[in-house]
Structure formats: C-alpha cells, structure tokens
Structure 1
Amino acid sequence: MSGPVVVRRRLGVTLRRLREAAGLRLEQVAAELEVSPAKISRIETGHSAAKTWDVRNLLTVYGVEDPDRREQILGWVEESKAFGWWHPHSDVLPMNLDYYISLEAEAASVSLYAPLVPALLQTRSYARALLADLFVDVDHIGEGDLDRLVDIRMGRQAALRRAENPLGVSVVLDEVALLRMVGGPEVMREQLIALQDVMGSVEVRVRPLTAPVRRFALSSFAIFHPRLTTVDHAVVNIEAAGRDYYLEEAADVLEYQGAFRALWTESLGADESLAAVRSLIG
C-alpha cells in the first residue's frame, strides 16, 4: 500500500537535489534535454507525474551511474504513477485528503492530538455518525456517498495491520472525545469498547478536562514520521474549521513535535487512560 502523492514529491525533491549537486540550473538541464524549464520544474515540485524516459535522461545528465541508485529512483517513477487504493472514491474525497492518506501510507508512525476519536481508531458506526454530522450542510452528500466516505475511513485503518512495517500510532486524546455523544449511546458504547481493546497495541493518552488550555490543543493535528528518512521528511497536518493545512518546514515540524510532547506529558498515564475509557463503558 503506497502513497503516490508522497512518492511523487519524494521523486521531485531527489531530482532537484541531484541537479543542484551537479551544479546545473533548470535552464541548462532543459536545454540539454530539449524541453521547457517549466517541465523540469513541475517534475521537481511534484505537480506533474514524471515519465520513466524523462527521469532516465535526467539521471544521466546528473551523472548518476550507480545501477542500484538508478533502479531505486526509477522505481519511484512507477510508484508515483500508480493509483492509491482509494482512487475509485476520489470524487467524494474532501480537499487534500488524497495527500493525507498518502502520508499515512508512507509513514513509519504518526503522532496525533485529537479532540474526537481519530479516524484510524473509529468504528464504522461512529465514523458514519460523525461524517453525517460533519456533512449535514453539504447538499450533494447522499447516503451512497456517505457510505463511500466511511469505506475510505475504514480502509485507512489497514495501515495499522500492514504485514511489513505497520503504522505506529501515538494519540493524545482529549477527554471531551470520550464524552461527546456521537451517534447516540449505543454507538458511543461500541466505540469506547473498541478504543479500550486497541489500547494494548496503540499508545493512547487521555488529556483530562483539568489539563490547562494550550494553543496547540485548539485544533487537531497529526505529525507524520517517514519510513524513508533519508529522502522524506516529517510533515504536520492541522485540521481547523473543516480545512486542512500542511507544514513541512523543519522549524514548524519541530515546534509541533515539542507541542505534542508537552501535551503527552500533561495527559494521564497508560493505566489511568485505560481506566478513564473503561469507566464510561459501564
């Protein structure tokens, strides 16, 4: 299960670094290959899918002769052109979720601060009730589209069960997530039981209502830690008022990593967090 959007960006960043290491400007490379500088730029920024022929020529111009290195990079070309498993549902995907799912697919682990039970830990009933509430003011979302959105959310949870390198998850869960009634008492009870069961394999810390107000806790956020640390970098996603924002600058990522550690420290311990969930199941 790969994330083509992330792979396309990885390929572009790698090609840009190789060009810069070779001391070449976009215009020089474009002239050598008899293409426009804009085409090279679009490949480097990940805005255009690269063709194998073009990348093979770029590697030659940049003096990349090692066969293993060439094979690795050309392999990324093929991965970047593949459709993610969620592609058949792309017409109902909210803005930027394609990138989010790609990040999940390519990450080694993710650190989440969540004021609601996060998608990776939701039951189908909870997910459907929550999405129905979130899209209640969107006229074109019918029952069929809602079911497809739930299918996507359930499909994302396969990252936790990958045969190789399953996604590691650490969650600071605001206590309000345990108290907010999503879908009614039975839906919430089912969700709390599922959360209790997964807390043996997923790190979940409940942040109590008595914890101090922190500015980083006013919106949910996720920090994606890459598997391929030599070519990919950590990315922060912030969700606020139905909009997604992505931070990729090192200083921004470090700031949110520090914020997550602080929220984690202010949360209940593992045993206390489990007890807090169990106390609400009844």
Structure 2
Amino acid sequence: MMNEWPERLVLVGAGKMGAAMAAGWLAGGLAASSLTILEPNPSDEIAGLAASRGGALHTAAPTPPDVLALAVKPQSLDAVAPQIAPLAGERTLVLSILAGKTIANLRARLPGARAVVRAMPNTPAAIGRGVTAAFASAAVTPEQRLWTEWLLGAVGAFHWLDDEAAIEAVTAISGGGPAYVFALTEALAAAAVSLGLPADLAMSLARGTVEGAGELMRREPGTPPSVLRGNVTSPGGTTAAALAVLQGNDGIDALMARAAAAARARAGEMAG
C-alpha cells in the first residue's frame, strides 16, 4: 500500500501560491510535522499558518526530503538554486510550479534531481478551486505520481499531460485565465459606466454577473457553455445584438486567441 502523503515535504517559497498550496495540503491531511517551509521573508499569513498547525518555518535547508516543491518566482530560481540544490536527492521528487522553467532547465540548476514534475496551477487554488495540469519526467515513480495527484488535487482539479510542451499552453489558458476573467469584469463595469450607471452599481452588477455565470457552469458541468449562452440569447434580442459585436471577425474569439498566443510565447521566452 502506497503512502497517501510523503513523510517529508519541503516547500521553497511561500508567496500567495505557495501559501495556498500549503494550506490545502494541511487541510487535506498532510501532517504538519511533515512540512518544512523555506521562506526568508514569510508573510503574517504563512507565519500564522506554520504556528497554528505546528509546521516548521526555516530559512536554512534541511536534508533531502521526499518531495521538494518549488514555488518561488521564476526569475528567482538562479539565486536560490545553489542553496536548495543539496535538497534534490536522487530519491526526491522535485515538484515545480515555476512558469516557463522546463525540466531540463531545473535539472541544470539542481544537478541531483532525477524525478521532476512540472506543474501549472492557478490562483483559485487559494480557495480550493484551482485547476492544475502537470507533466512528469520518466524517472517519476508510481508512488511519486500519486503524491503529485494528492498534493495538487488538494487545491482543486488536477490533470496529467502527455507532453511537456503543453505546459506552455496551460500557462496561457488556465494559468493566466483568472486575470482574463478579472479584466472582463473590469471591462463590463466600465461599459456600464459608459451607459450612465454609477460606478459602484456598475461594478456590483459586473462582479455579480461573472460570479453567477461561473457558479452556473459549476453546477451544470454536463452543459456546454455554448448551450448556457444560448439559454440567455433570444433570436433578434438585446443579447444577440451584443454577441454579434463580441463574436464578429475581430471579436472576442480572435482577441482571446491572440492573447493566449502572446502568453504562450512569453512562457517560451522565460524557459532559458
């Protein structure tokens, strides 16, 4: 019988995403005594989490753990790599959520790393509603794959990828997707203001609409978004008039495709 949780897990970096994952792991059943957090400048939130659950919060590296989870900013990898390289033992699973950093890139900076999983979660992980996709190197064992599924599944939906290159597309879609939805909310509120509504009412309507639409999709997982859209759209009506603009030749489909392509290209640039 394989262990559900690793006995020793070291989390390097405890910003918003790292803190969200740590909270999800502890809530999901990871023993606080199994978790060590390496964060030189811990927020009050992560310090409180460690104190309340009994987890260890350090700035110095302990011995190689079962899992080494990397949640630092991608641009910080070169600076922290020499400090954490001794933690990547030959039996350690390196679990990285660093955007744009390939498995080859990670191994070059952590020479002892063998089993590496590259993952891309998103910020709703902070409320247990994230979505994560990951790719595993050939050296990842069945037990390490299960650890990955439990660790990343603790903060939302989880998917395996068959091709590491697909991570860049995931980064462009679900990784950055929450920001796109927030931008849509801002744009909807601005449109309401342009139609003469007060700013506070405009934002309330925009937020409530986006929240409600998202919840409707969640509660009807078997109903395609196209059907949900059709349920709101009467032929020749007001919504149809708006959609004719949004879905025109230069509309939202083409705009989103260009935006996603730009994000994927930037992820590729960051892989160096």
Q: TM-score, normalised by structure 1?
A: 0.27
Structure possessing the higher relative contact order (Cα contacts under 8 Å, 6 or more residues apart): 1
